[in-house]
Structure 1
Amino acid sequence: MVSEAIIRHIESGSLREGDRLPSEGELAISHGVSVGTVQKALTQLVHSGLITREQGRGTFVSGARVAPADVRYLRFRDAEGNDLSSYVHARSVKRLKRKGPWSEFLGGESFVRIERVINVGGRFDLYSEFWLREQDFAELGGVDRTALEKNLRELVAQRLSLPTLSVDQWIRFGQVPAAAANELRIDPRAPGFIMELRGYTLRRRPLYYQSIYSGPFPERLVITRESGR
């Protein structure tokens, strides 16, 4: 409830970048909850990149741009059937030569992994790894945080003229990788939600590989078949 209220204020514009939030005590009183509950809600929003906390100064709407996530293939709804807002926060961009399902699909020797966290309605996070061949990523030119927090497939289509024409999608439950479990703060020994996507461009050329992870969630998941449009 506390998280959703803050997110609604950000969405409506009543809270803007750099604005200071009420104190923990004020939030607790206004929502009729304990300070401990408020602290948990704020910690979740900090982790997702929506707000920042500064020692001795207070809590502020994040200076990093957090854009609504264009995740047509993966949406969540509450018990009343309302779509939950999603927000992307870029974590890192790394060049790797490590092998895995991404290298088997994409081919080549060097890859770039874009790590992002998608916050769903202030309730829980998804952890995403988006893989491209290093040569394709280099041809994108300079990519800043703002670009990485938008739709990556549209970015590739616009800058490289390589549209996503089809996507293979799989969902399973299994052990979440340690890095994802640490980012999501879930038990790495427990089974988690895993979604894998393989995108193709012209002439069925492999374009990108993406994996999405999450712990348990009670919300309703809506999966839309990808058409590339």
Structure 2
Amino acid sequence: MSAKPRSVASNAASETTMTKRTMVSDAIIRDIESGSLNDGDRLPSEGELAARHGVSVGTVQKALTQLAHSGLITREQGRGTFVSGTRVAPADVRYLRFTSADGQDLPCYVHARSVRRTRRTGPWSEFLGGKGFVRIERIINVGGRFDLYSEFWLREEDFAELGGLDRSALEKNLRELVGQRLALPTLRVDQCIRFGELPSAAAQQLTIAAGQAGLIKELRGYTLRDRPLYYQSVYAGPFKERLAIARENGQ
């Protein structure tokens, strides 16, 4: 009989901690959006943030860990915490735009995770053809509400033609980059969306349990003469917000 009340109390405490952590995260994101904090700026210490928001240092640490995972900040041992998230214009995430319940575009922050060459096969190889591929992994934080994990695939030879890519290039519009450097514009994009079990890599990047179901979006980009140009898969775990997906024309 006593186990149930303890469980309810534990759940209530967990929800309170989550609310406080979200409050701290949202406050930092608002400062970034308003320009009070810019790329490279140092955040106040954990103790200062705890005092400012009336929460424990542990809650601040959890909020900073969440923001660091999304790529909005970096935490450097002995130096502090710095703003590092790259906010992108709506055009840079044209096919991944969300609006809030009141119709406002939610800002997106892109953080490049890795660039890997592989000969693995899958939906990308079936679409692109060829034997070697490059996978660009990115985390896209949507308005501080939730994260998307993106895998952007190109043929190895096409990626080589792009030349050296620094982090800032990887955190912008990859379709535009390919179009400019290779003179291969994206003329058509087929989009599919489904709900299913997330791959282990996506679950790990989104910090959710392995085998959990989530949102899966697949995009296939075509260029001149209907040639397959890129393959992109985007994953999201569960989230509670009621959001609208903005179409390319903003409606």
Same fold (TM over 0.5): yes
Given residue 32 of structure 2, which amino acid in structure 1 is its aligned partner?
Answer: I
Separation (CA, whole Å) in 2 of partners of 1:221 and 1:206: 31
Given residue 198 of structure 1, which amino acid in structure 2 is its aligned partner?
Answer: R
Aligned partner of 1:36 in structure 2 is 58
Are residue 185 (structure 1) and residue 213 (structure 2) matched? Answer: no
**C-alpha deviation, 1:9, in angstroms:** 2.0
Partner deviation per Cα, 1:126-155 (whole Å, 9 max, x = no partner): 100000011111111111111110000000
Report 1:1-229 matches (<5 A). Answer: 1-62=23-84, 66-68=86-88, 70-224=92-246
Determine helix, strand or coil for the equivalent of 1:89: strand
Separation (CA, whole Å) in 2 of partners of 1:76 and 1:198: 20
Separation (CA, whole Å) in 1 of partners of 2:199 and 2:45: 36
Distance of aligned partners of 1:225 and 1:50 in 2 relative to their CA distance in 1, 3 Å threshold? closer
Separation (CA, whole Å) in 1 of partners of 2:39 and 2:212: 37
**C-alpha deviation, 1:74, in angstroms:** 2.0
Q: Which runs of 5+ in 1 are unaligned?
A: none
Higher RCO (CA < 8 A, seq sep 6+): 1
Determine helix, strand or coil for the equivalent of 2:28: helix
Q: Does the CA-based 8 Å contact 1:166-1:226 persist in structure 2? A: no
Q: Which has the higher strand share?
A: 1
Aligned partner of 2:4 in structure 1 is none
TM-score normalised by structure 2 residue count: 0.83
Q: Which runs of 5+ in 2 are unaligned?
A: 1-22
Separation (CA, whole Å) in 2 of partners of 1:49 and 1:190: 23
Q: Which has the higher helix share?
A: 2
TM-score normalised by structure 1 residue count: 0.90
Q: Does the CA-based 8 Å contact 2:98-2:246 persist in structure 1? A: no
Q: Does the CA-based 8 Å contact 1:75-1:221 persist in structure 2? A: no
Determine helix, strand or coil for the equivalent of 1:194: strand
Distance of aligned partners of 1:122 and 1:225 in 2 relative to their CA distance in 1, 3 Å threshold? closer
Q: Which has the higher mean CA deviation after the structures are superposed, 197-206 or 28-37?
A: 28-37
Q: CA RMSD in A?
A: 1.9
Q: Does the CA-based 8 Å contact 1:3-1:123 persist in structure 2? A: no
- Larger C-alpha radius of gyration, 1 or 2? 2
**C-alpha deviation, 1:212, in angstroms:** 0.4
